[in-house]
Amino acid sequence: MTDTATETTGTDELLSELRAWLQQNWDPDVTVAQWWERLGLAGWAAPGLPTNAYGKGMARSDAVLVQQEIAKFGALGAPAGLGLLLAAPTIAAHGTQEQIDHYVRDIVTGRKAWCQLFSEPQAGSDLAGLQTRAVKDGDEWVVDGQKVWTSGGQYADLGMLLARTDPDVPKHQGISYFAFEMLQDGVDVRPLKEMTGHALFNEVFITDARVADSALIGGLNNGWAAANTTLMNERAGLGSGGGNAAGGGAAQPGTVMGFLGRRAGDLAAPAASTRGDQKSQQPGGALGAMRGGAGLLIGLARARGVNTDAGIRQDLARLYTLGELGRYNGLRMKAVKEQGGDIPGMPNVSKLSMSQIVRLSRDLGLRISGPAGMLHAYDVDGKAALREATGDPLAGGVTEMALFAQAPPIYGGTDQVQRNIIGERVLGLPKEPNNDRVTPFSQLPKNA
């Protein structure tokens, strides 16, 4: 177990330290692997991690500023994806120092890409009902089961695997958290196509796959605590005010589809470091566009000549206000954390607020676009043809965003689940009565 360091160095001081470091170290001619090695080991890839885990113990809001500053400088940002966003902070909090050095180092330097093997066909909101099992065999575990919705599973080296290691205790108490090798026999990853036309997530079938005992994170049957750290980081990172940048930049890590051998400068052009058309393992470009928020849609409204419409102006103001509230909540959280406190439920509030922003952006974007909001293309060639036919560089972008808008209110825990958590854990409302916390998992009724 490690402490979560919270250094309180001033933001301005840190950013000028970063600029000086970039002046000395950024070189567009090195490979992405070489650049990420420098960035990661210096603590700038994931500055929100503790200092013993390749970070600088910075507040999330400052870590977002760091990523923005790197992009502004014109250097390549940190590796994209769930390794940096979820696995690294979980291993930093629950892993041994040996595990941190083994796994987190490879994450901050982009050598390995990760996916999240949590959800199952019968265990999404009720995650603790998961049925994938791991059975001990010498100094290894044998894993069998099925996962679903696994974002980026098709190019992950490792997965954050939740598996049942003791079915004879209540369901939350018999789960373990493993760093699971994806590239092995017995792991079958099958992409699922979404209505945007992309296949961001997958079904993963696991049959007699193996994971070493040394890959157990946080101790046997203690996976629920580690899983909650992952989920808390997911909600805070994906929520409004969290900033996707906290989870890394646009370039893909890992051995399967990673950009490691490419020239760093080719991926760091300003347009590449800030644009939303690169796919990250979670929600990619469309969410990036929604995060562009009011500014992006104000520009679109002007371009379409509807910026004088009173209804549209009012909703643009609402969108701007929601974005600012998210930003202020991030600052509030930082201030409270610096004093050693916490704001219970803030990650849940922030994720709910993100859902609101996403829905409003979808509806507003389609209203601003008018009939053009019905035009969509599903691949690179189709997009080019659409742009050529309409003469509109944004054609298809709004529909992409609108089609994807259904996803953020679901992943990382649905809106209803966030409200349940706020009700039960923050407001102290009574839980729905059930026996789940006392009855052994093996005796609970199952859907399948």
Ligand X SMILES: Cc1cc2nc3c(=O)[nH]c(=O)nc-3n(C[C@H](O)[C@H](O)[C@H](O)COP(=O)(O)OP(=O)(O)OC[C@H]3O[C@@H](n4cnc5c(N)ncnc54)[C@H](O)[C@@H]3O)c2cc1C
Residues with catalytic function: 234
What's the gap between Cα 20 and its chain centre?
29
201 makes contact with ligand X (CB under 6 A): yes
* x/- letters, 394..423, toward ligand X (CB under 6 A): -------------x--xx-xx-xx--x---
426 makes contact with ligand X (CB under 6 A): no
Burial of 304 (0-12, 13-18, 19+ CB in 10 A): middle
Of 183 and 195, the one with the shorter C-beta distance to ligand X is 195
* x/- letters, 238..257, toward ligand X (CB under 6 A): --------------------
Q: How far is the CB of 191 from ligand X (least distance, A)?
A: 13
CA 233 vs CA 133, 194, 262, 376, 413: distances in Å: 25, 25, 30, 33, 12
Of 177 and 411, the one with the shorter C-beta distance to ligand X is 411
Name residues contacting ligand X, limited to 207-236 (CB under 6 A): none
Instruction: Detail the DSSP E strand segments found in 259-319.
Output: none
CB 93 within 8 A of CB 52: no
Of 115 and 290, the one with the shorter C-beta distance to ligand X is 115
Of 87 and 115, the one with the shorter C-beta distance to ligand X is 115
CB 33 within 8 A of CB 260: yes
Of 201 and 224, the one with the shorter C-beta distance to ligand X is 201
CB 424 within 8 A of CB 437: no
Q: How far is the CB of 358 from ligand X (least distance, A)?
A: 12
d(CA 188, CA 204): 6
Of 21 and 118, the one with the shorter C-beta distance to ligand X is 118
Q: Which helix (H) or strand (E) holds 180?
A: strand 175-181
Name residues contacting ligand X, limited to 93-152 (CB under 6 A): 115-116, 118-119, 124-125, 149-151
6 makes contact with ligand X (CB under 6 A): no
* x/- letters, 313..352, toward ligand X (CB under 6 A): ----------------------------------------
Q: How far is the CB of 82 from ligand X (least distance, A)?
A: 7
CA-based max dimension of the chain: 70
* Residue 214 DSSP code: G
Q: How far is the CB of 219 from ligand X (least distance, A)?
A: 21
Q: What are phi and psi of 438, to 5 degrees?
A: -120, -25
Look-up of token digits 């079938």 = 205
Q: What are phi and psi of 144, to 5 degrees?
A: -140, 135
Size of the site for ligand X (CB under 6 A): 18
d(CA 366, CA 413): 26
Of 44 and 149, the one with the shorter C-beta distance to ligand X is 149
**Distance, first Cα to last Cα, the chain:** 37
CB 64 within 8 A of CB 331: no
By beta carbon distance, the residue nearest ligand X is 124
Q: How far is the CB of 227 from ligand X (least distance, A)?
A: 10
* x/- letters, 293..312, toward ligand X (CB under 6 A): --------------------
Name residues contacting ligand X, limited to 40-69 (CB under 6 A): none
CB 163 within 8 A of CB 196: no
Q: How far is the CB of 12 from ligand X (least distance, A)?
A: 36
Look-up of token digits 């099958």 = 190
d(CA 203, CA 200): 11
Q: How far is the CB of 147 from ligand X (least distance, A)?
A: 6
**Binding footprint of ligand X on the chain (CB under 6 A):** 115-116, 118-119, 124-125, 149-151, 201, 407, 410-411, 413-414, 416-417, 420
